[in-house]
Amino acid sequence: MSIIKKAALYFARKEFCRNAINERADLSIFKEKLKVSVIAGLVLITVSYLLGIPAVFIVGGIAAWLKTPKFGIVGILLIYGISWLLFILGIYLAGPEYAKALGRWIARVVLEKILGDEAKKIASNPN
């Protein structure tokens, strides 16, 4: 038995994964109308990616061009920190219910792909 299948069997016995399989976790929560806080959170997450990755390269390039590594170290850390703060605030605003729904769906889909019908058997009787 492969290590991937052993790991899948282990996780399929965990309560989170069992519930996801038994309840046929889906992404129906994303079909509902989004709240303003969720939209703001998703916008902040997007901005954090758009700001963080290109800004690190730009600041690094400027630091190399000016031949001042201190500027690069401080600038990259500052931009990266701001990007992470925006990302964390975005996740907080977007709400845990969406992350949980996505996690449950991913767990169900991955375990069913690896284990097939065996996933449903294990979820209904974990011992």
Closest-CA residue to 94 (of 28, 40, 29): 40
pLDDT digits (tens, 9 = 90+) for 25-44: 888 887 888 888 888 988 99
CA-to-CA separations, 98 to 11, 48, 92, 110, in angstroms, rounded: 21, 19, 11, 18
Q: In which band, very low, low, confident or very high, does the pLDDT at 82 lie, cut at 50, 70 and 90?
A: very high
> Residue 86: which pLDDT band, with cuts at 50, 70 and 90?
very high
Would the pLDDT of 89 be above 90? yes
Residue pLDDT, tens place only, 50-69: 888 888 888 888 888 988 88
The mean per-residue pLDDT over the stretch 73-99 comes to 88
Burial class of residue 119 in the structure, from the number of CB atoms within 10 Å of its CB (0-12 exposed, 13-18 middle, 19+ buried): buried
- In this prediction, residue 126 carries a pLDDT of 65
